[in-house]
Amino acid sequence: MARTNIPEVEAILDKEFKCLNAGFVRLIDYMGGDESIVQAARVSYGKGTKTVNQDRGLIRYLMRHSHTTPFEMVELKFHCKIPIFVARQWIRHRTANVNEYSGRYSIMKDEFYVPTDEAIHFQSGTNRQGRSDEEVPQALRAKVLQLLLADQHQAYGHYEEMLGADIARELARVNLPVSLYTEWYWKIDLHNLFHFLRLRIDPHAQYEIRVYGEAMAEITKKVAPMAWEAFEDYVLKGERFSRLELEILREQLDTNSITKESLEARGFGGREAEEFLEKIAKLKSGGE
């Protein structure tokens, strides 16, 4: 079978999606798309046996029922240039294949992440991992940038001095700050990429890694648009409710006007509408 070729994706292969002041994300290769997900789910069928609408319905069914294996048939390989502190958050997603630029073998480039004024915030008083929305005075922002640049310049200058004295690269690099840019090739299947994006484009994610997540999301939409639509509908913009929350909803909701016809008029597929009505019936009965 011929390799999947998606014109919209071919047009952006190797294109740099700029991130932060000096970083980027590039899609350098991919395997499969929506068609590959459908083929994996219908393993006993040949290509072209279903319509586009049926393919979309199947992908949405797989997504809402967490049948994840077919999504693993799609793979994307990225080339990323990222600050080291972002890479250390990113690497926690252990479901990808990674090969990173090595400071043991190569000289690290004199490139550092420098935040914009708008990215400088106070520590949040309610979230130990986050930033507050409180406005930082311009004079303090300027001071922060001055300190960051001074430390980066000094650290890299000392690094160059040690290299000039023929100190081993693996040792000379140890004082370089985590604002230094690194690069890697990162290959992952679509199921695990969706999990990465669910966490990293969330508004609560750190701004710097969110920038990369949003760039990768734009690329992913082109590789598997129907899968992305289902992911957005059922995961990114969906919600889960606890038992107590469902009890409150059951007490408050008037569901009498929800019919299969009204749901299909809103864009639900037939099976999708029936499943939603089953959820409503279960909610009204208290889950019995």
Catalytic annotation, residues: 200
Q: 53: Cβ–Cβ under 8 A, 6 or more apart, which residues?
A: 269
Let me know: does 79 contact 19? Beta carbons within 8 Å: no
Calpha distance 58→272 (Å, rounded): 10
How would DSSP label each residue in 18-71?
EETTTEEEEEEEEE--HHHHHHHHTTTS-TTSS-HHHHHHHHHHHHHTT--GGG
User: What kind and span of H or E run contains 172?
Assistant: helix 169-172
Phi, psi of 88 (to 5 degrees): -70, -30
Let me know: does 269 contact 57? Beta carbons within 8 Å: yes
Q: 181: Cβ–Cβ under 8 A, 6 or more apart, which residues?
A: 22, 23, 81, 82, 83, 84, 109, 111, 112, 113
**Residue (of 49, 32, 191, 177) closest to 110 by Cα position:** 177
